């Protein structure tokens, strides 16, 4: 989408599934009474015969999706991220992943940008839970166009997928023709002094931070870690060797998310000074802008912490 407006990544969900169905891909969707919020209603309205609502029963949602996948369907599931991973982890682990079923776990409302819904609805552990599972692919798209592409990748690539979507309208990062690949990260801005690796809504914040750092004479390379599992080792290691210092930024727990994955990669291949930005506590209820500022995950926070990190390792 390229209309100059901000769009939440969740807005791509139902629209893209409807397009895929129209194109002849045998997609179905299973929801847990949240089709309006997850934007699966666009798919439901276009293809009611391919949509199942199990009610507020996420475990059933995942098992129904698993069963549909065994009939040859490409089965997508919705709900909020905190429920789609936490309430039915057994079903994802033992039914979907252990059997390598063609089920796509695609929740919305991830991270602190859920906003006023508060800590109970702000999934901060979901990426870590999903990347720990054998067979699972984990994608965190940065904007509407990247999300549309990620959903298409999930639909046309066999196996379990986790595609993390959000509630917050974000600026366009990619053109409509963006065609990413599983296992790839994308260098959005070249730099020489520090690498800023980001995913999801933090990609836009990282780009804005790089602009501000440039005004201070700091050259920041910005990488969109679109694919968190598998990780793009080549792109990340080349950048780390070039800049010698890495900052990771995510609206997720630093203990198990994207930053932790990158830290493991660097420690095993190119030991590099690294600063992990993300969540170290539960979130709280407040407007999104307030939360991003409070937890230091807006552009100003990235600039501040990057500057301090570089001073420490200069």
pLDDT per residue over 126-175, tens digit each?
A: 999 999 999 999 999 999 999 999 999 999 999 999 999 999 999 999 99
The closest alpha carbon to 197, from 235, 164, 146, belongs to 235
Q: At 66, which CATH number?
A: 3.40.50.970
Q: Check if 23 is active-site.
A: no
Last residue of a domain, one of 170, 197, 229: 170
The answer to the question of residue 14 being in a domain is yes
Residues 134 and 213 in one domain: no
Last residue of a domain, one of 123, 139, 170: 170
Which residue range is the domain that position 286 belongs to? 186-312
Instruction: Kindly report, residue by residue over 66-117, the tens digit of the pLDDT.
Output: 999 999 999 999 899 999 999 999 999 999 999 999 999 999 999 999 999 9
Q: Does the global pTM surpass 0.85? A: yes
The catalytically annotated residue of 11, 19, 58, 221 is 58
Return the bridge partners of 194, or none: 220
Residues 6+ apart with CB under 8 A from 96: 62, 65, 66, 103, 105, 160
* Whole-angstrom distance, CA of residue 161 vs CA of residue 167: 20
Instruction: For 7, list phi and psi in degrees, rounded to 5.
Output: -135, 140
Q: At 234, which CATH number?
A: 3.40.50.920
Residues 133 and 202 in one domain: no
The answer to the question of residue 175 being in a domain is no
Residues 19 and 128 in one domain: yes
Last residue of a domain, one of 145, 170, 195: 170
Looking at residue 178, its pLDDT comes to 95
Looking at residue 293, its pLDDT comes to 97
């Amino acid at each position: 989408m390229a209309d100059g407006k901000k769009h939440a990544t969740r807005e791509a969900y139902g629209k893209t599934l409807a397009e895929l169905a129209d194109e002849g891909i045998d997609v179905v969707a299973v929801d847990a009474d949240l089709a309006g919020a997850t934007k699966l209603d666009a798919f439901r309205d276009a293809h009611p015969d391919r949509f199942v609502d199990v009610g507020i029963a996420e475990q059933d949602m995942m098992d129904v999706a698993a069963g549909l996948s065994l009939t040859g369907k490409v089965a997508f599931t919705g709900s909020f991220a905190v429920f789609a991973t936490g309430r039915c982890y057994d079903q994802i682990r033992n039914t979907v992943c252990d059997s390598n079923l063609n089920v796509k776990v695609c929740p919305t409302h991830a991270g602190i940008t859920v906003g006023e819904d508060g800590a109970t609805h702000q999934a901060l552990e979901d990426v870590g839970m999903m990347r720990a599972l054998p067979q699972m692919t984990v994608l965190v798209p940065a904007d509407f166009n990247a999300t549309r592409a990620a959903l298409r990748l999930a639909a046309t690539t066999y196996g379990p997928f986790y595609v993390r979507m959000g509630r917050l309208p974000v600026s366009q990062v990619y053109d409509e023709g963006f065609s990413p690949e599983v296992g790839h990260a994308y260098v959005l801005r070249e730099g020489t002094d520090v690498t800023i690796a980001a995913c999801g809504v933090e990609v836009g914040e990282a780009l804005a931070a790089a602009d501000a750092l440039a005004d201070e004479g700091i050259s920041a390379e910005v990488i969109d870690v679109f694919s968190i599992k598998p990780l793009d080792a080549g792109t990340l290691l080349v950048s780390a060797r070039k800049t010698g210092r890495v900052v990771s930024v995510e609206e997720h727990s630093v203990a198990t998310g994207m930053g932790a994955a990158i830290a493991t990669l660097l420690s095993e291949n190119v030991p590099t000074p690294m600063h992990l930005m993300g969540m170290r506590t539960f979130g709280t209820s407040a407007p999104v802008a307030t939360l991003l500022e409070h937890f230091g995950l807006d552009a100003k926070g990235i600039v501040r912490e990057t500057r301090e990190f570089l001073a420490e390792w200069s």
